[in-house]
Amino acid sequence: GAVVSQHPSWVICKSGTSVKIECRSLDFQATTMFWYRQFPKQSLMLMATSNEGSKATYEQGVEKDKFLINHASLTLSTLTVTSAHPEDSSFYICSAPQPSGRSDTQYFGPGTRLTVL
């Protein structure tokens, strides 16, 4: 299947700092990428849809000024958690759809575990 990379795989930061997470599609182009958040023992919650060449679409309840998304190219989307606080600690995972014949299949990055002290 397709490969989606994510960097860093884990990060620990102090409260008030900003953290940037990169998501790359390695062997295909993705005009759309998705960012999810997952709390322990829970399912994935879609945060936003990243669109190359246009603004991201945020889900209801997600602060766009806190979670900045930039889809810089057809293979790269970044999520910046601004002024992080302990409640932002979570597992963040991105995904990108790749056309697969009759339909698209969505492939996920390995995730980034963020801990805010």
Partner 1 sequence: AQKITQTQPGMFVQEKEAVTLDCTYDTSDPSYGLFWYKQPSSGEMIFLIYQGSYDQQNATEGRYSLNFQKARKSANLVISASQLGDSAMYFCAMREGLFFQVSGAGSYQLTFGKGTKLSVIP
Q: In this chain, which of 12, 83, 99, 115 binds partner 1, going by CB under 8 A?
A: 99
- For partner 1, the closer of residues 14 and 102 by Cβ is 102
State how far the Cα of 67 lies from the Cα of 63, in Å rounded to an integer.
6
Candidates 19-27, 68-76, 82-90, 95-103; binding stretch for partner 1 (CB under 8 A): 95-103
46 touching partner 1, by CB under 8 A:
yes
- Choose, by CB under 8 A, the member of 7, 28, 49, 82 that binds partner 1: 49
Give the span between the Cα atoms of 80 and 68, in whole angstroms.
Answer: 5
Instruction: Answer whether 23's CB lies under 8 Å from 76's CB.
Output: yes
Provide the sign of the torsion angle of the four alpha carbons 68, 59, 74, 7, taken in this order. Answer: positive
Give how far the C-alpha of residue 110 lies from the chain's centroid of Cα atoms, to the nearest Å. 11
Give the C-alpha separation, 29 to 75, whole Å: 5
Question: Measured from the CB atom, is 49 or 82 closer to partner 1?
Answer: 49
Examine residue 115 and tell whether it contacts partner 1 (CB under 8 A).
no
Minimum distance from CB of 85 to partner 1 (Å)? 22
The answer to whether residue 104 forms part of the interface with partner 1 (CB under 8 A) is yes
Residue 54 as a binder of partner 1 (CB under 8 A): the answer is yes
